[in-house]
Amino acid sequence: MKLDVVLSRTDSPSVLDGIVALRTYTSVRARGVSQSGRNHYQFVAELDAKAEEWHLVDDQGRRSSAVGTWLLQDREAPLEVVFPRGMPKAVQMLYPEALLMWGRRSESFYPMLVQEIGQRSLLITFEHIEDPAFRATAVINRSTGIIEKLAVMGTSSF
């Protein structure tokens, strides 16, 4: 993975491969906060990548999960999905390849800069393919491969 140089869209697969290679777990549980403007909520997310299952509970008691091929959400009918589709952003941060920001096919963003932050983190800047001024950032823990903070157009999760 190239550091501290402006990347092209053709570099995107190697950036994603480098991030996936950092993963040190098959099962993980994390607590976090999601904020959009004045609205925020706390959550607990769990992921078992080997079993292809995840669970999310927020501080209001709302639950969603994917078990087997079924997406289950409070007060909604089960929906059949293929892992990792249907993951909310909070869970995608535990499984970065589920984010639709790596420059694949019809994705609108691609990684355009990767920088080291101290000894334990990487900062990835994403650029929108149609508007170079529209950016997003992600802070990735180098020892786990987990995205610890994600900020997209005025929203952020950590």
Q: pTM above the 0.85 mark? A: yes
Q: How far is CA 66 from CA 4, 46, 103, 158, in A?
A: 37, 11, 25, 22
Task: Work out the burial of residue 5: count CB atoms within 10 Å of its CB; fewer than 13 is exposed, 13-18 middle, 19 or more buried.
Answer: exposed
User: Does 9 have pLDDT greater than 70?
Assistant: yes
- In a 13 Å sphere around the CA of 90, the CA atoms on its Cβ side amount to 22
Q: Dump the DSSP string for 88-146.
A: -HHHHTTSGGGSS-S--TT-SEEEEEEEEETTTEEEEEEEESS-TT-EEEEEEETTT--
Residues 131-156 pLDDT 10s: 888 999 999 999 999 999 999 875 55
One-letter identity of residue 39: N
Mean pLDDT, the chain, whole residue set: 92
Q: Which CATH superfamily is domain 9-157 in?
A: Lipoprotein localisation LolA/LolB/LppX (2.50.20.10)
The domain limits of the chain are: 9-157
> What's residue 53's pLDDT?
95
Residues 65-113 pLDDT 10s: 999 889 998 888 999 999 998 899 999 999 999 999 999 999 999 999 9
